[in-house]
Amino acid sequence: MDTMRDKPIKFSSSAFCLIILLLAYNSTAELRRLVQPPKSDGTLSFLVVGDWGRRGSYNQSQVALQMGKTGKDLNIDFVISTGDNFYDDGITSPYDCQFQDSFTNIYTAPSLQKPWYNVLGNHDYRGNVDAQLSPILKDLDCRWVCLRSYVVNADIVDIFFVDTTPFVDKYFDEPKDHVYDWSGVLPRNKYLNNLLADLDVSFQESVAKWKIVVGHHTIKSAGHHGITKELEKQLLPILEANEVDLYINGHDHCLEHISSINSGIQFMTSGGGSKAWKGDVNEWNPQEMRFYYDGQGFMSVYLSEAELRVLFYDGYGRVLHRWNTYKEAIYTDI
């Protein structure tokens, strides 16, 4: 059996990059588990940005600047990327200059020198997937954390990162002129069945107060791509059965909040890291649509034992939308 399942592996000795890769002992789940310590008061804050990697163009640098300011104000613990990290066709190798030009040299603010937890998007699959997963990138910039699917445990919250691109039929059936790197994914049905089973087990084993799922593709969206039917059919029932609080995605180049009328899941899109699609919005049930913005921006999440709070910001750092919810806090006398 792989030795990574038997002991923790330390990614880096740097203080802000100290992330321990743990696979749950006495567990049948295969999802890799990372430990992200919360603040000393038990709270946690992070930013979410998606669809960003364009060497600073399409206002990527402007969004990065505002992320730095907001990150400082909120004293964030880390950043989440919802995928499409490098346009248009991922990266060719760990030494591709795109990594420096679109990531290291763009997100330079002191507040953003924290772990970046990434998922892969469809554009990333058009490049060398193993290059984005390579530990060499972490040697080049110790903030970088990218696995196919994994769990980040931060005490009060478990964040489940899901590799959604292999779910989408058209990338296999109608790739057009694009070439996708399916190494590590084939045979596809086995890969997806294992992922869904492992995810379900990981949900059931979770004892965290909050459960957040991050994937690149939309499940519910009024944007350009709309509903991803494959995720609606295969992934959504597992999220509903395990009472997930948030599903956060990119893919649609907008900011969006949809509240499900069928469950307690909130669907949040943060895909405004660079190029946005102005006016590309479809009708949606007004009982579910809470917020839609067809421009650049990002979102922040604050968590405590009792509260989950989400804010959306435009590319100038202005707050566009706020949402929060509460759960009864459990306090233990010592």
What are the backbone dihedrals phi and psi of residue 293, each rounded to the nearest 5 degrees, phi first? Answer: -135, 125
- Asked whether residue 216 is marked as a ligand-binding residue, the answer is yes
What residues form DSSP beta bridges with 153?
A: 35, 158
Angle, vertex CA 24, rays to CA 139 and CA 219, nearest 5? 80
- Asked whether residue 169 is marked as a ligand-binding residue, the answer is no
What gap in Å lies between CA 285 and CA 227, rounded to an integer? Answer: 13
- Asked whether residue 245 is marked as a ligand-binding residue, the answer is no
What gap in Å lies between CA 117 and CA 246, rounded to an integer? Answer: 16
Active site residue 178: no
Helices (H), the chain: 60-74, 97-99, 129-133, 135-140, 170-173, 188-205, 229-234, 236-241
Q: How far is CA 278 from CA 18, 45, 331, in A?
A: 39, 29, 47
- Asked whether residue 253 is marked as a ligand-binding residue, the answer is yes
What gap in Å lies between CA 181 and CA 133, rounded to an integer? Answer: 13
- Asked whether residue 125 is marked as a ligand-binding residue, the answer is no
- Asked whether residue 321 is marked as a ligand-binding residue, the answer is no
Q: Which of 217, 225, 257, 321 is catalytic?
A: 225
Q: How far is CA 222 from CA 10, 161, 258, 322, in A?
A: 41, 22, 9, 19
What gap in Å lies between CA 331 and CA 205, rounded to an integer? Answer: 21
DSSP conformation class of 217: S
| In contact, 311 and 71? CB cutoff 8 Å | no
**Residues classed as catalytic:** 225
Which residues are annotated as part of the binding site for Fe cation?
A: 51, 84, 87, 122, 216, 251, 253
Which residues are annotated as part of the binding site?
A: 51, 84, 87, 122, 216, 251, 253
